[in-house]
């Protein structure tokens, strides 16, 4: 999440001028790889409160999709176009996925293990 936020701040600081995309793309690739590795490791958990994870994850994902949609609307309304908008959109998508996963995991790891996964 820190990589995406850093890339987003870097890009937002340079808008409306032309933004060099080398650093944001590198940060985006690294963030995507870390999120993918995080999801793979999470999927390997056997004894885990999955029902709690999905309950918290579902509602926090809804909230973060609303937040992400508002931020995307602001970028489009401000005239961000082309590859800059595409990179910002992917960064927002990673942000919208990563935060609910972190929230859901933080809650579910302290809950009793589901009976079906024992």
Supply the pLDDT for residue 12: 81
39 close to 53: Cβ distance less than 8 angstroms: no
The residues spanned by each domain of the chain are 2-117
Distance in angstroms (rounded) separating the CA atoms of residues 91 and 107: 25
Mean pLDDT of 35-47: 93
Closest to 19 measured CA to CA, from 33, 8, 27, 29: 8
**Residue-wise pLDDT tens digits, 68-102:** 999 999 989 988 888 888 999 999 999 999 999 99
Mean pLDDT of 55-59: 95
State how far the alpha carbon of 91 is from the alpha carbons of 54, 66, 83, 94, in Å: 23, 15, 12, 5
Supply the pLDDT for residue 13: 85
**Residue-wise pLDDT tens digits, 16-31:** 778 889 999 999 999 9
């Amino acid at each position: 999440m820190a990589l995406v936020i850093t890339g987003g701040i870097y890009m937002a600081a340079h808008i409306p001028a032309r933004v060099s995309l080398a650093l944001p793309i590198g940060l985006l690739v690294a963030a995507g790889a870390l999120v993918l590795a995080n999801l793979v490791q999470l999927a390997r958990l056997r004894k885990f409160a999955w029902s709690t994870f999905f309950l918290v994850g579902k509602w926090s994902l809804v909230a973060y999709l609303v937040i992400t949609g508002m931020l995307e609307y602001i970028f489009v309304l401000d005239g961000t176009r082309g590859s800059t908008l595409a990179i910002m959109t992917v960064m927002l998508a990673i942000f919208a996925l990563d935060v609910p996963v972190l929230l859901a995991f933080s809650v579910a790891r302290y809950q009793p293990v589901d009976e079906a996964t024992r």
